[in-house]
Amino acid sequence: MDFVTRGFQGRPRGRDDRLPPGQYLTGDFPVLSAGPTPGIEHHEWELWVATEDGTRHTWSWTDLMALPAETVTVDIHCVTSWSKLDTEWRGVSVDTLLADVETGADYAMVHSYGGYTTNLPLEDLLDGQAWVAFEFDGDDLRPEHGGPARLLVPHLYFWKSAKWVRGIELVVEDSPGFWEALGYHDYGDPWREQRYQGD
């Protein structure tokens, strides 16, 4: 029996199809913070990547601006149930940052100014899935939304898109970050509604 009705295949993906289970649409951009907003000036900003053998790569703001940047339009989904469609960001792909980094690590612990951390499989930061974003909607990323630069990993719940990113630690073994250690899911796929541990 054919469960697919004629005309269903190839239909453009509508708004409802882009809303993961348990989410609602918002036109706002809510601000959720676990601490005070760090005031980081461009001249003092630095991004580092550390590999499992201790090798450290760093980029100043000027270095970051010299790298090829991309403009991407993506949907974002917060674990607190709001989703925002067609958000426009500009940033440097993590693929670009890691192009010359040799590692055998399978996981990443992302560190932020202010002490926040979040863990992800390294493969979720690669292949055009993640950026270090510094513009939102055509303007400099505002500090309350993670400026000067935040991680952007739109296919996972937005707590993985660490605001005020300062470092990516490549590690052989996974360990939980700030929220993952306190009841939130290790991976956080919104389409599988992985909000809490055990989901």
Which residues bind to other proteins, rule: CB under 8 A?
32-37, 79-80, 115, 159, 179, 181-184, 195-197
Q: CB of residue 171 vs other proteins: minimum separation in angstroms?
A: 20
Q: CB of residue 82 vs other proteins: minimum separation in angstroms?
A: 10
User: Within 13 A of 130's CA, how many CA atoms are on the CB side?
Assistant: 24
Residue 94, both tokens: 């993590």
- Cβ proximity to other proteins: between 7 and 36 the closer is 36
- Cβ proximity to other proteins: between 65 and 181 the closer is 181
Q: CB of residue 115 vs other proteins: minimum separation in angstroms?
A: 7
- Cβ proximity to other proteins: between 64 and 165 the closer is 165
User: Within 13 A of 177's CA, how many CA atoms are on the CB side?
Assistant: 27
Cβ atoms < 10 Å from Cβ of 175: 12
- Cβ proximity to other proteins: between 52 and 193 the closer is 193
Q: CB of residue 70 vs other proteins: minimum separation in angstroms?
A: 28
10 Å CB burial of residue 23 (0-12, 13-18, 19+) is buried
Name 29's Cβ contacts closer than 8 Å, sequence gap at least 6.
84, 145
Q: CB of residue 189 vs other proteins: minimum separation in angstroms?
A: 16
- Separation of alpha carbons 132 and 162, rounded Å: 10
- Cβ proximity to other proteins: between 12 and 36 the closer is 36
- Separation of alpha carbons 24 and 108, rounded Å: 30
Cβ atoms < 10 Å from Cβ of 73: 10
